[in-house]
Amino acid sequence: MKTKVLFPVLRAARSSRAAAALAAAICVSSCLVPVPADVEPAVLRLGLADGASGVSALATRATADPFDTDAYILTLTSSDGKTAFRGLWGERPAEFELAPDTYAISMLSSTFKDPEFDCPQFGDTRSVTLSEGQVADVELVVSQLNSGLRLKLDEKFVATYKEAALFLRSSAGTLAFGFGETRTAFFQPGRVAILLNDGGKTSTVHSLELRPGEIMTLRLSIAESMPRAMLVTGVNVAVRVDTVRLWSSAEIDWDGSSTGIDNPVPVVPDAVSVSVARGMAGSKDIWVCGYIVGGDLSSKSCSFEGPFSSRTNLVLADVPTCTDRERCLSVQLAAGDIRNALNLVDNPSLLGRQVWLRGDVVESYFKLPGLQNLSDYRL
C-alpha cells in the first residue's frame, strides 16, 4: 500500500551566519531505531514541496543572504518519545524503514526558545501514522515558525523618555530594547508586552498577539491628542501599526497617515488598525480603520466572497486580500442608516473597500473580537 501526503507550498530563507551557528551548536547524528525481525517495516520517504527545496529566493529582514535547507536539522520521534532519526536534512536517507507507529517529523533551521534579536526560525513540523508494510511519501513545507517585532521611536518620544528603558516581554522571557535598536526581536508566537520603565516605575505601553510567520513594526510617539482609549495610565504614548508582514503575503505599510495601499490621505488620522483594535476589548467610542473583506458571520465561519445574505454584520481586516477569519474584526450593523449604507447585500461593491468605523470594541462578537454600537463611519 502506498500513501502520498501532500501539503501546500511555501518558501523561506535563513542567513548563512545563523546556519553556521546552528551547525556549531547542535551535534548531529543518525540513530535509526531497528525494526523487530517479525514486523514488516513501514517505509517513509521525505521531500520538500515543489519549489521549496535548495536555496530559497526569499530573504529575511535580518539579512539578504539565501539559505540552503540542506543544513536544516531533521528529527523523527516515535509516539513513545524515542528518537528514530536526527541528522541534517541534506544527508537523510532516501527511505526510512520504521516500525509501525505515529511519528513526529521536525525540520528546523535552528533551535529557538527564548526571545532573541535577529533570529528567525524556519521549518515545518508534521505527524504521520505508518502501518505495517506501508509506503508513505511526505512533502514538507518550509515557512517561518516564530514571530518578529520591531519598534520605531520618534524623536519626541526619545527626548521625552531619554532616562527611561524599554523592554519586550513574553511568557518565555524579556528583551531590553535600546532606543537606538534597529534589529528585529523574535518571539514564540503569542502575546508580547511593551514595557516602559521610567524613574523606577514600569508601565505597559501596549501588548499585542503575534502569529507564526508574522513580522510587525510598531511606531511609538508621544500622544498629544489621541482618543482616551489609546492612552496608557502614566505613559502618554501613541501606538500605531507601521508595517505588518506575513511571509506568505505582500508587505503592507501603515504609518498612521497612509494605509500604503490605495488611500494616501487619512480620513481619520487617529484611527487604529484592525490588528491593534483586536487587543483593545472594552475600549469605547474609538475609530477603527480597515478593509471590508466579508460578512455572513457565524460562530465558526464567515464568507469572503459574495453574494452575501446577511445585512447585520461585516468583517474587517488590515489588508483587502485577507481570507483568514482569525485575523479579522467582526462588526455588528444595527438597524439604521449605517447598516443601510454598509451591508454587503445591498452594497456588494463595498467588498474590498477601506472604511473607518466609530464604535465600541468588545471581546467577542461571533467568537471574534468585535466592534459594536457604531455611531459614525467614513468611506
Does 262 reside within a domain? Answer: no
Give the pLDDT band (50/70/90) at residue 278. confident
Does 341 reside within a domain? Answer: yes
Report which of residues 218 and 83 the model is more confident about.
83
Tell which of 207, 231, 255 closes a domain. Answer: 255
- Considering the domain architecture, whether residues 13 and 137 belong to the same structural domain is answered as yes
- pLDDT for 89 equals 92
Q: What is the mean pLDDT of the chain?
A: 77
- Considering the domain architecture, whether residues 6 and 95 belong to the same structural domain is answered as yes
- pLDDT for 327 equals 87
Query: Tens digits of per-residue pLDDT, 9-37?
Result: 222 333 444 444 444 444 444 556 678 88
Report which of residues 301 and 272 the model is more confident about.
301
Does 57 reside within a domain? Answer: yes
Question: Rg for the chain (alpha carbons), in Å?
Answer: 24
- pLDDT for 207 equals 75
Whether residue 147 is predicted with pLDDT greater than 80 in this model: the reply is yes
Question: Domain containing 41: what range?
Answer: 2-143
Give the pLDDT band (50/70/90) at residue 145. confident
- pLDDT for 351 equals 92
Query: Tens digits of per-residue pLDDT, 302-315?
Result: 999 999 999 999 99
- pLDDT for 366 equals 94
Does 265 reside within a domain? Answer: no
Tell which of 83, 116, 143 closes a domain. Answer: 143
Does 281 reside within a domain? Answer: no
Does 273 reside within a domain? Answer: no
- The model's pTM: 0.56
- pLDDT for 152 equals 86
- pLDDT for 361 equals 93
Whether residue 360 is predicted with pLDDT greater than 60 in this model: the reply is yes
What percentage of the chain exceeds 90 in pLDDT? 39
- Considering the domain architecture, whether residues 172 and 88 belong to the same structural domain is answered as no
Whether residue 76 is predicted with pLDDT greater than 70 in this model: the reply is yes
How many domains in the chain?
A: 3
Give the pLDDT band (50/70/90) at residue 50. low
Q: Are strands 252-253 and 272-273 parallel, antiparallel or unpaired?
A: unpaired
- pLDDT for 12 equals 32
Q: How many CB atoms lie within 10 A of CB 357?
A: 26
- CATH number, position 208: 2.60.40
Whether residue 240 is predicted with pLDDT greater than 90 in this model: the reply is no
- Considering the domain architecture, whether residues 52 and 24 belong to the same structural domain is answered as yes
- pLDDT for 178 equals 93
Whether residue 258 is predicted with pLDDT greater than 50 in this model: the reply is no
- Considering the domain architecture, whether residues 19 and 89 belong to the same structural domain is answered as yes
Tell which of 110, 143, 176 closes a domain. Answer: 143
Candidates 85, 98, 105; CA nearest to 130 is: 98
Whether residue 265 is predicted with pLDDT greater than 60 in this model: the reply is no
Does 260 reside within a domain? Answer: no
Which range is least confidently modeled, 221-235, 244-258, 290-304? 244-258
Does 13 reside within a domain? Answer: yes
Query: Tens digits of per-residue pLDDT, 321-336?
Result: 788 888 899 999 999 9
Question: Taking a C-beta distance cutoff of 8 angstroms, is the pair 120, 62 a contact?
Answer: yes
- Considering the domain architecture, whether residues 180 and 160 belong to the same structural domain is answered as yes
Candidates 368, 372, 353, 378; CA nearest to 312 is: 372
Query: Looking at residues 241-257, what average pLDDT do you find?
Result: 34
Which range is least confidently modeled, 5-14, 194-203, 275-284? 5-14
Give the pLDDT band (50/70/90) at residue 157. confident
- Considering the domain architecture, whether residues 137 and 197 belong to the same structural domain is answered as no
